[in-house]
Amino acid sequence: MTTTNFQLIPHKAAGIQIEPFASSSSFLLIREDLDNKQYLNINIMTAEVLRLIDGKTTVEQIAGCFNQKYNSDIPCDSFYNLLFDGELARLNIVSPEQFSDEPASAVNISPFKRKDKYLILKIKLLNKDWVHRLSQPFKFLFQKASFYQLMLGMLVFLSFFFLTSNLGFDQIRFYLSSHYSFGFLVIYLVSLLLHELGHSAASIKFGADHSEIGFGFYLITPVLYANVTDVWRLKKPQRLIIDLAGVFMQFLVSCTGVVLYFFFEIEIIKYFALFVFLTSLVNLNPFLRFDGYWFLTDVTGTFNLRYHSDKLFFKFLRWLTGRTAWPLTSRENVWLFLYSCASWTFRIGFIFSVAWYGRHILTFPIYLPQKIINAFEHIRDFGYLTDIIMSCMLPGFFYFMIYKTIRDFYKHLKPETR
């Protein structure tokens, strides 16, 4: 690399803010000049280098200032690579304007784009204004002094009621495949909407901004989502409540159903409440990107928990073959490794459990074309269509998990490029 490159003057995109996040070694880069705020986790060096960018200082001068402040001897090419050959340049956060001996001019840097790879085919359902109106009435529920007590109380109450009730899961299947299926769908969608409004209401309560509520697909499952990414700038206790606010709202819906069942003794209401309760518990799974995952991310202060834990897990596998140094060099690395072990155990255990106890799923691809034909033949029979969709959900998830597991293994185990 020529020394001429070190005379480049880096420029930041407009509206950049840098705030501490989770620990003293991690910062949050916030882009505020857009309709939707965007966020990027950065380390100390990146944060300090970005602060040194003023539109007048060259790469060489930035390297000198940084090395003087931290009594280090990092070469200029490392700073150049950080600014112009990495994520900062790819995301349009930093751009070279011109050489330092030329006159300055205005810089127009486009917004950086960072996709949620785990959530696809997103469609906006409610804009920011509607979300704000609908969320306002629920703000009072998220008091720091009583939130966890209320949530734990509802969990104990619901668990005790359903465990001591005479429940039949065959009855649930009957309701889902009969004319009651439409009612289950409506209740489920209402509970999902309240779930997302819970996240938005808690964000408003603690002073974070929020955006739309929309629809998308996670894995192969249709989901609703609330855009509350501004919560990253809040303190950990506030983020934890926001993480659990959606499940809290579903617990509340389920408790309301149980109370109505006590008053009216209508069996279907009990199963409505059970269905909502079970779906809310699924959201606490810490190994899929549901609310339990984000809660654990905030508890541990580990940004992008899945990525870093998997990276460490496969580095450990490479250590077993003598291709890298011992990776578990800190308490944080041990925790990440244990989480990744549990995550992969869950993923592989799910695949083998479904294959063993639901062996008919192995022949699912053979019968899938006929199921599609049957669906079109009974296109007006909502109960029949619901039954077909439900019968395809677990096999579809099963085969997708196999594909994703193989893909992730290949991605992490392939030789690292330099």
Q: Which pLDDT tens digit goes with each residue over 75-125? A: 888 888 888 777 777 777 787 754 334 433 333 444 444 445 567 778 888
Beta partners for 21?
Answer: 23
* Helix 147-164 / helix 267-282 crossing angle, nearest 10 deg: 130
Beta partners for 224?
Answer: 215
Lowest mean pLDDT among 159-168, 212-221, 248-257: 212-221
List all residues 6 or more positions away from 238 whose beta carbon is below 8 Å from its beta carbon. Answer: 144, 206, 208, 231
Check pLDDT > 90 for residue 219. Answer: no
Residue 72's pLDDT is what?
Answer: 86
Give residue 141's pLDDT band: very low, low, confident or very high (50, 70, 90): very high
List all residues 6 or more positions away from 415 whose beta carbon is below 8 Å from its beta carbon. Answer: none
Bridge-based pairing of strands 221-226 and 213-218 is: antiparallel
d(CA 348, CA 405): 8
List all residues 6 or more positions away from 216 whose beta carbon is below 8 Å from its beta carbon. Answer: 119, 120, 121, 122, 123, 222, 223, 224, 225
Q: What is the pLDDT of residues 7-45, one digit of tens each?
A: 888 888 777 777 776 555 666 666 665 555 667 777 788
Q: Are 275 and 172 in contact (CB under 8 A)?
A: yes
Helix (H, G, I), strand (E, B), or coil: what is residue 142? Answer: coil
Residue 43's pLDDT is what?
Answer: 78
Find which of 145-149, 271-275, 400-404 is predicted with most confidence, using mean pLDDT: 145-149
Beta partners for 226?
Answer: 213
Check pLDDT > 50 for residue 275. Answer: yes
